[in-house]
Structure 1
Amino acid sequence: MNIFLQFYKSLFSPKDIALFRHQGIGKTILYVFFLTLLSVMPAVFYSGSAIINSLHAIDETIDSDLPDFEIAEGQLHTDKEVPVTLNKDNFTIIVDSTGAVDPSALSDSDNTIALLKNDVYLNAAGQEQSYPYTMLTSGTISKNDLSEFLASADSLMPIIIPLIAIVIYIFAAGMRFIELSLIALAGLLLKNALGKKLEYRHLWRMSAYSITLPAVFFTIMSALQTTVQNGAIINWFISLIILLLAIKEVPAHKPN
């Protein structure tokens, strides 16, 4: 059975998921990478779009609206005694050399870039990143330097966006494998309760297919940019229910 047919069957058939426990581990790992690729596509698309839009918005705003600033010795310096906040094209730019803005207070805001006292903060399509100035440069950066850098960075987007996509994908794949390992551990309790003769390796394979339905659901929600309340709990609950149904489809062990 090819990987696409397995994907289709895993959406509704615990019986087929139970049969997948005998397949090679390589094919199961390939399926996990495929499912991860599918699930990160909305995040990659919106993150890339947000970064491109933010560069354009900042480039248009930096010369006319932002105050003069300088980043030296890992800190931001301006002549403003209060934070400066600008909103342009659904994008928020914050310049704060006072240390008054807490990055944790920006987590609920979308499409935001903040030049804070000691680091630069970016929130694009729900993906938060923060980089200290000392990691970005050991010298001095002025407002004019940043303007010139953004102009050159725009031409590098065909390279930068794929690199960001790879980072997101690798991180998501790592988290997916951890999730599967934990679900398979919970499956040990379920198989003992049901009296089924299954090993951890069988349960890991079955778990890889049990997460298909919630993964597709949350991919659709991400594509629609819709937040699901208690999403992690829902994801785990549905995955465990499907795994439970798949375990029940395994024939009971009959001792000799």
Structure 2
Amino acid sequence: MSYWEWFFKSFYNRKVIAYSRFRPITTTIGFVLMIIFIASIPYFISLNITIVSSVQQLDRILENDLPDFHLVEGTLVMEKEEVYITDEVSEGFFLIDPANSLTEGKLLELEEGIALQEKEFLFISNGQIQSISYSLLGLQELSKEDLSHRISQLLNFLPILLTIITSLLFVGLAGLGFLSITILAFLALFIKGKRKLEYRHMWIITAHALTLPVILLYWIDILIFPIPFTAFALSTFLIVLAAIRSIPIPKRHKHSTPS
């Protein structure tokens, strides 16, 4: 069976998932990285589009008449700590909140826009909040005018920065995926019954059982409506259970007694 046949059959064929226990662990690790990358494509595209449009909008906003503010050691400082907000921009809102007085829920109620909080930029779009710290952007000590100049420069550096951010996020998602597999594989040991399955077998089976839940549910989570993490774990565990049940239990050999 070719690699791609194995990939597509891992979506629905419990026997293929069960038989995957004989695949090398190195191949399985590569398989997990691939399905996490495929599952993350909508998220990465949405994130990159949101950040690019938000930085462009921020560049335009900083050219307007805003209250004076500056950064001191990577922290936003403004004379009045009251929230400044304006919707007199081309898209969404812009606010300055040095005291972090607005909760995530309140920001999401405002829909599309940009927020400058105590330690980071917040980009709000499509019901999601993406954050970038001032420190990550190399912004430690500067005024509003300096920030405007830096943002203009950032537009040229943005492709490289987005590549770095996307890579770091992928590493984080991959780490979460491997941690989930490790935990679920351990729990699956309690349902293997009398089948001769070791932990390494359970780990590989769980890794392949992750294919459908991770890709389908994460795409739904990003493109349609939020999916709780428990749904990923439960659906994967049920697929693991179905795969294990497809493995026959070894029969005991009856020893004939001598006459």
Query: How far apart are the structure 1 equivalents of 2:229 and 2:29?
Result: 22
Q: How far is 1:153 from its partner?
A: 0.7
Query: How far apart are the structure 2 equivalents of 1:143 and 1:176?
Result: 41
Residue 187 of structure 1 aligns with an amino acid whose one-letter code is: A
Point out the more displaced range, 142-151 or 211-220. Answer: 211-220
Structure 2: tracts of 5 or more residues without a match = 254-259
Structure 1: tracts of 5 or more residues without a match = none
Query: How far apart are the structure 2 equivalents of 1:163 and 1:72?
Result: 25
1:221 aligns with 2:220: yes
2:101 match: secondary structure: coil
Residue of structure 2 in register with 1:33 after alignment: 33
Residue of structure 2 in register with 1:129 after alignment: 131
Q: How far is 1:136 from its partner?
A: 4.2
2:76 match: secondary structure: strand
Q: How far is 1:232 from its partner?
A: 1.3
% identical aligned pairs = 25
CA deviations over 1:69-125 (Å, ceiling 9, x no partner): 12235543334452111334544422134x261454557466554323x31242455
Point out the more displaced range, 70-79 or 236-245. Answer: 70-79
Residue 206 of structure 2 aligns with an amino acid whose one-letter code is: S
Q: How far is 1:134 from its partner?
A: 10
Residue of structure 1 in register with 2:186 after alignment: 185
1:183 match: secondary structure: helix
Contact 1:107 1:123 (8 Å CA) reproduced? no
1:50-129 to 2 correspondences below 5 Å: 50-80=50-80, 82-87=82-87, 88-97=89-98, 99=99, 101-105=101-105, 108=108, 112-116=113-117, 118-123=118-123, 126=128, 128-129=130-131
Residue 209 of structure 1 aligns with an amino acid whose one-letter code is: H
> What is the RMSD of the two structures over their aligned residues, measured on CA atoms?
2.5
Q: How far is 1:222 from its partner?
A: 4.0
Query: How far apart are the structure 1 equivalents of 2:105 and 2:129?
Result: 15
Q: How far is 1:190 from its partner?
A: 1.1
CA deviations over 1:119-151 (Å, ceiling 9, x no partner): 12424553543636699445x311110111111
Residue of structure 2 in register with 1:159 after alignment: 160
Point out the more displaced range, 206-215 or 128-137. Answer: 128-137
Contact 2:39 2:216 (8 Å CA) reproduced? no
CA deviations over 1:188-227 (Å, ceiling 9, x no partner): 01103xx221101001100011111111212321452x22
Question: Measured at CA, do residues 33 and 15 of structure 1 come closer, stay the same or move farther in structure 2, by a change above 3 Å?
Answer: same
Query: How far apart are the structure 1 equivalents of 2:36 and 2:75?
Result: 38
Contact 1:71 1:77 (8 Å CA) reproduced? yes
Question: Measured at CA, do residues 134 and 190 of structure 1 come closer, stay the same or move farther in structure 2, by a change above 3 Å?
Answer: closer
Query: How far apart are the structure 2 equivalents of 1:122 and 1:62?
Result: 15
Residue 217 of structure 1 aligns with an amino acid whose one-letter code is: L
1:148 aligns with 2:142: no
1:242 aligns with 2:239: yes
Query: How far apart are the structure 2 equivalents of 1:75 and 1:172?
Result: 28
Number of aligned residues: 249
Query: How far apart are the structure 2 equivalents of 1:217 and 1:113?
Result: 30
1:44 aligns with 2:41: no
Question: Measured at CA, do residues 78 and 228 of structure 1 come closer, stay the same or move farther in structure 2, by a change above 3 Å?
Answer: closer
Question: Measured at CA, do residues 113 and 133 of structure 1 come closer, stay the same or move farther in structure 2, by a change above 3 Å?
Answer: farther
1:39 match: secondary structure: helix
- Greater Rg by CA: 2
Residue of structure 2 in register with 1:254 after alignment: 251
Question: Measured at CA, do residues 248 and 59 of structure 1 come closer, stay the same or move farther in structure 2, by a change above 3 Å?
Answer: same
